[in-house]
Amino acid sequence: MAEHQRFPSEVASFIASCIDSVEQVEILLTLRSDRTRHWTVEELSRGQHSSVHSVHLRLGRLIDSGLVAGEGSSYVYAAPPEADELVRRLAELYADRRTAVIERIFSEPRDPLQSFADAFRLRKEVRDDE
Protein backbone atom coordinates (compact mmCIF):
# COMPACT_ATOMS: atom_id res chain seq x y z
CA MET A 1 0.00 0.00 0.00
CA ALA A 2 1.30 3.42 -0.88
CA GLU A 3 0.54 4.75 2.58
CA HIS A 4 2.90 2.28 4.15
CA GLN A 5 5.80 3.78 2.28
CA ARG A 6 5.12 7.22 3.62
CA PHE A 7 4.61 6.14 7.20
CA PRO A 8 7.41 7.80 9.16
CA SER A 9 9.88 5.15 10.20
CA GLU A 10 10.66 6.63 13.63
CA VAL A 11 7.01 6.50 14.54
CA ALA A 12 6.80 2.99 13.14
CA SER A 13 9.72 1.91 15.32
CA PHE A 14 8.17 3.62 18.28
CA ILE A 15 4.95 1.73 17.73
CA ALA A 16 6.78 -1.55 17.24
CA SER A 17 8.67 -1.18 20.49
CA CYS A 18 6.19 0.47 22.83
CA ILE A 19 2.68 0.09 21.53
CA ASP A 20 0.73 -3.08 21.17
CA SER A 21 -2.87 -1.99 21.29
CA VAL A 22 -5.12 0.79 20.13
CA GLU A 23 -6.38 1.24 23.65
CA GLN A 24 -2.85 1.98 24.73
CA VAL A 25 -2.57 4.77 22.20
CA GLU A 26 -5.82 6.28 23.35
CA ILE A 27 -4.82 6.15 27.00
CA LEU A 28 -1.45 7.65 26.20
CA LEU A 29 -2.96 10.45 24.20
CA THR A 30 -5.56 11.09 26.89
CA LEU A 31 -2.83 11.42 29.49
CA ARG A 32 -0.87 13.68 27.20
CA SER A 33 -3.80 15.92 26.53
CA ASP A 34 -3.65 17.13 30.12
CA ARG A 35 -0.11 16.58 31.29
CA THR A 36 -0.33 17.94 34.77
CA ARG A 37 -3.45 16.05 35.66
CA HIS A 38 -3.22 12.86 37.62
CA TRP A 39 -5.67 10.34 36.30
CA THR A 40 -7.08 7.40 38.16
CA VAL A 41 -7.71 4.08 36.52
CA GLU A 42 -11.44 4.54 36.97
CA GLU A 43 -11.41 7.87 35.16
CA LEU A 44 -9.45 6.40 32.30
CA SER A 45 -11.61 3.32 32.03
CA ARG A 46 -14.72 5.44 31.88
CA GLY A 47 -13.21 7.45 29.06
CA GLN A 48 -12.12 4.30 27.26
CA HIS A 49 -15.32 2.37 27.86
CA SER A 50 -13.19 -0.58 28.85
CA SER A 51 -12.55 -2.52 32.00
CA VAL A 52 -10.38 -1.29 34.84
CA HIS A 53 -8.32 -4.42 34.46
CA SER A 54 -7.62 -3.72 30.82
CA VAL A 55 -6.67 -0.12 31.49
CA HIS A 56 -4.38 -1.31 34.26
CA LEU A 57 -2.65 -3.60 31.81
CA ARG A 58 -2.11 -0.85 29.26
CA LEU A 59 -0.82 1.53 31.90
CA GLY A 60 1.62 -1.12 33.04
CA ARG A 61 3.06 -1.30 29.55
CA LEU A 62 3.23 2.44 29.26
CA ILE A 63 5.06 2.67 32.56
CA ASP A 64 7.53 0.01 31.40
CA SER A 65 8.21 2.10 28.32
CA GLY A 66 8.84 5.13 30.46
CA LEU A 67 5.99 7.14 29.01
CA VAL A 68 3.79 7.24 32.05
CA ALA A 69 4.50 7.50 35.74
CA GLY A 70 2.37 5.99 38.44
CA GLU A 71 2.02 8.00 41.62
CA GLY A 72 0.06 6.26 44.29
CA SER A 73 -3.14 5.17 42.62
CA SER A 74 -3.06 7.73 39.87
CA TYR A 75 -1.09 8.14 36.70
CA VAL A 76 0.45 11.04 34.90
CA TYR A 77 2.06 11.59 31.53
CA ALA A 78 5.80 11.40 32.00
CA ALA A 79 7.51 11.02 28.65
CA PRO A 80 10.95 12.61 28.27
CA PRO A 81 11.32 15.22 25.48
CA GLU A 82 12.48 12.91 22.66
CA ALA A 83 9.76 10.39 23.44
CA ASP A 84 7.24 13.17 23.77
CA GLU A 85 8.10 14.30 20.26
CA LEU A 86 7.37 10.81 18.98
CA VAL A 87 4.10 10.73 20.89
CA ARG A 88 3.18 14.10 19.41
CA ARG A 89 3.80 12.77 15.93
CA LEU A 90 1.87 9.65 16.77
CA ALA A 91 -1.02 11.84 17.94
CA GLU A 92 -0.98 13.73 14.65
CA LEU A 93 -0.89 10.57 12.61
CA TYR A 94 -3.59 9.02 14.71
CA ALA A 95 -5.82 12.01 14.03
CA ASP A 96 -5.13 12.06 10.30
CA ARG A 97 -4.48 8.50 9.33
CA ARG A 98 -6.00 6.39 12.00
CA THR A 99 -6.30 3.29 9.86
CA ALA A 100 -2.63 3.36 8.99
CA VAL A 101 -1.67 3.66 12.64
CA ILE A 102 -3.95 0.81 13.62
CA GLU A 103 -2.50 -1.33 10.86
CA ARG A 104 0.98 -0.58 12.12
CA ILE A 105 0.03 -1.54 15.65
CA PHE A 106 -1.24 -4.89 14.51
CA SER A 107 1.54 -5.72 12.10
CA GLU A 108 3.89 -7.76 14.19
CA PRO A 109 7.61 -7.42 13.76
CA ARG A 110 8.51 -10.69 12.22
CA ASP A 111 10.98 -13.02 13.75
CA PRO A 112 13.48 -13.73 10.95
CA LEU A 113 13.76 -17.39 11.84
CA GLN A 114 10.04 -17.80 11.77
CA SER A 115 9.89 -16.07 8.41
CA PHE A 116 12.52 -18.48 7.12
CA ALA A 117 10.57 -21.48 8.31
CA ASP A 118 7.29 -20.07 7.03
CA ALA A 119 8.83 -19.51 3.61
CA PHE A 120 8.60 -23.25 3.05
CA ARG A 121 4.86 -23.34 3.28
CA LEU A 122 3.65 -23.96 -0.19
CA ARG A 123 0.17 -22.68 0.37
CA LYS A 124 0.50 -19.26 1.90
CA GLU A 125 -2.18 -17.78 4.06
CA VAL A 126 -2.74 -14.16 3.25
CA ARG A 127 -1.20 -12.16 6.01
CA ASP A 128 -3.03 -9.11 7.23
CA ASP A 129 -0.08 -6.86 6.77
CA GLU A 130 1.12 -7.79 3.31
Residues near other proteins, by CB under 8 A: 20-21, 54, 57, 106, 108-123, 125, 127-128, 130
Q: Please state at what angle helix 22-33 crosses helix 52-64, rounded to 10 degrees.
A: 80
Nearer CB in complex with other proteins: 33/114: 114
DSSP string, 20-45: --HHHHHHHHHHHHTTTPPEEHHHHH
Minimum CB separation of residue 8 from other proteins in Å reads 18
Residue 24 near residue 121 (C-beta atoms within 8 A): no
Q: Which of 12, 23, 32 is nearest to 57 (CA)?
A: 23
Minimum CB–partner distance for residue 51 and other proteins (Å):
10
Nearer to other proteins among residue 12 and residue 88 (C-beta)? 12
Q: In this complex, which beta carbon is closest to other proteins, that of residue 72 or of residue 112?
A: 112
CB of 119 to other proteins, least distance (A): 4
